[in-house]
Amino acid sequence: MTYRDFSKQAMAYAASIGCSACELYFASGESFEVNANGGEIDRYSVSRDAGVSVRVSIDGHEGYAYTERIDEPEKLVDHAADNARCIESEDEHPMQTRQSYRSVTHVDSALKGLSETERIALAKRMEEVCLAADPRVRRVVYCAAEYGAGSVIMENSLGLLAERSSDTSAIYVMPSVQEGDEVQTGFAFRMGKEAADADGCAKESVAEALGKLGAKPVASGCYRVLLRPFAVCDLLAAFASMFSADEAQKGCSLLAGKEGRQIASELVTLWDDPFDEVAPRAFDGEGTPCVKKAVIDRGELKTLLHNLKTAKKAGAQTTGNASRRSAAATVGVAPTVFRIQPGEKAYETLLCELGDGLVITDLEGLHAGVDAVSGDFSLKAAGFLVQGGEIVRPVSNITVAGNFVTMMKDVTAVGNDFRFGLPQGGFFGSPSMLVSGLTVAGN
């Protein structure tokens, strides 16, 4: 059965069993992934897939069902209707109507025009460059190239019709280096239009690994900390749900009701920018036209992120932040491209301002060591010890602990060294940030 036929029959059937509205979300795509090891293809995977989710509304309640078998639309609608009938929450979740969208230019990612052989060559090249970069490089743990392309069609019985397609490219590598008995690993990645930069990526990863040799803990205590861009990106991703109106309405965000209040240092401006060239999109997960907005403007919380449901409940406008983690997932709330505005200061200047303290480059354990409800985090970390504005030695096997909300207030300088982190369910970008005090556990 074609998707066209499936969608027509699903819509007609939904109306016939008393659904007041019916929406279909059809996603299809292809993917490519290769990992090289010892000059050979070690892991290789290609795919082509498609799935459709149906959402129906009955008596103001909505139910979902998803399938990857594009047949029997009636059965799928029945599942969704059953699910709608068990909903007890009184919160209405309206569907979007027909909209017009601004046109968005999507720059092709680097691997799009490459043949399969060329993509494989990129992975192999990273391994070669790593191994040749320094005699202390012992092996490459992984070095992978990935490409994905996908398209989405959304349509509903209220007239909505929205379509988009996009593609993504990424390469990433982790070498391990050894000196005596000590083993350290490094990591680097490139994405989007930079994803063909195998040499740069490999060299960066080796430099990172070598920089960690000789790392040891520091004494436990309270330190001034310079967080490098990737560390801030990780924290931003981990605490992004604080900015969700959905979490706020469920009583799970400390930012609930704080709109218009100063929640961060005046140095902090946070953008939700759906048009950023890293991943531009015209509409959100329920077909609402996207808008760029400052979420924090010079420290002041301007808005939480809304979809149609949370906006209706709050008596506000949707901010175009409806999300679907996958076609199979229900509609939620999430940032589009979340990025902290860079400042003027170079990294070296920030080191001088830090004086005595720690540079934190890596945070680990983010799926466990953060509490998005309380804002608390306690994470394994690595970086450098800084004395008198100079890097003294690498640091590892420490934890840093703090509170995200408190930390945003304690920002004393923002760098000009903006980077996007590896995408994690969304895009998060930041420059380095100097914060006044985090608690460190070491020895």
Partner 1 sequence: MIREETARAVLAEAQKSGADYAELFLEDNESTRIEMIDGKVESANYARICGAGVRVLLGTKSAYAYGADTSERALLEIARAAAAALGEAKAAPGGEVSLPLTRFTTPVRRPFDTIGNAERVEVMRTGARVMKQTSGEVTQALVRYLDQVQRVTIVSTDGVFVTDERPRTRIFLQAVAMNGSEAQTGYSGPGCCRGFEAYEDVIDVEQHAKIAADMAVTMLHAPECPAGNLPVVIDGGFGGVIFHEACGHSLEATAVGRNNSVFCGKLNTKIAADCVTAVDDGTLPGEWGSINVDDEGGTPQRNVLIENGILKGYLIDKLGSRRMNLPSTGSSRRQGYLFAPTSRMTNTFISPGSDDDEEMISGMAEGLYAKKMGGGSVNPPTGEFNFSVAEGYWVKNGKIVSPVRGATLIGKGSEILLKIDRVGKNMWMAPGMCGSLSGSVPTNVGQPRIRVSGMTIGGKGGAIE
Hey, which residues between 199 and 218 contact partner 1 (CB under 8 A)?
Answer: 217
108, 200, 220, 279, 317 from 194: Cα distances, Å: 11, 10, 40, 13, 36
Helix, strand or coil for residue 78?
A: helix
Other CB atoms within a 10 A radius of the CB of residue 406 amount to 14
Quote the CA–CA distance of 54 and 52 in Å, as a whole number. Answer: 7
Shortest Å distance, C-beta 58 to partner 1: 12
The 183-202 contact track toward partner 1, x by CB under 8 A, reads xxx-----------------
Cα dihedral 217, 219, 223, 229 in deg (nearest 10): 0
Which residues, in sequence order, are bridge partners of residue 36?
41
48 scored as a contact of partner 1 (CB under 8 A): yes
Taking CB under 8 A as the binding criterion, the range among 63-71, 159-167, 237-245, 286-294 that sits at the site for partner 1 is 63-71
Range 345-364, binding partner 1 (CB under 8 A): 364
DSSP-based helix, strand, coil % in the chain, nearest 5: 25, 40, 35
Q: CA 180 to CA 191: how far, in whole Å? A: 34
**422 sits near partner 1 (criterion: CB under 8 A):** no
Q: Does 114 bind partner 1 (CB under 8 A)?
A: no
Q: Which residue has the tokens 């795919």?
A: 47
Tell me phi and psi for residue 4, to 5 degrees. Answer: -55, -50
Query: Please, which of residues 237-266 interact with partner 1 by CB under 8 A?
Result: 250-252, 254
Nearest Cα to Cα of residue 417 among 230, 269, 236, 261: 230
Please tell me whether residue 49 binds partner 1 under the rule CB under 8 A. Answer: yes
Q: Does 84 bind partner 1 (CB under 8 A)?
A: yes
Biggest CA pair distance of the chain = 75
Among 342, 402, 415, 431, binds partner 1 (CB under 8 A): 402
Q: Which is nearer to partner 1, 99 or 396 (CB)?
A: 396
Give the closest residue to 349 by CA, choosing from 394, 389, 392.
389
- Binding residue for partner 1, selected from 88, 100, 105, 315, defined by CB under 8 A: 88
425 phi, psi to nearest 5 deg: 75, 0
Residue closer to partner 1, measured from CB, 249 or 341 = 249
Instruction: Give the residue with the Cβ less far from partner 1, 257 or 260.
Output: 257
Q: Using CB under 8 A, which of 121, 141, 291, 294 touches partner 1? A: 141
CB of 83 to partner 1, least distance (A): 4
Options 1, 8, 18, 45; binder of partner 1; rule CB under 8 A: 45
* Count of residues of this chain found to bind partner 1 when the rule CB under 8 A is applied: 72
Contact positions with partner 1 (CB under 8 A) in 367-386: 367-369, 371, 373-374, 376, 378-380
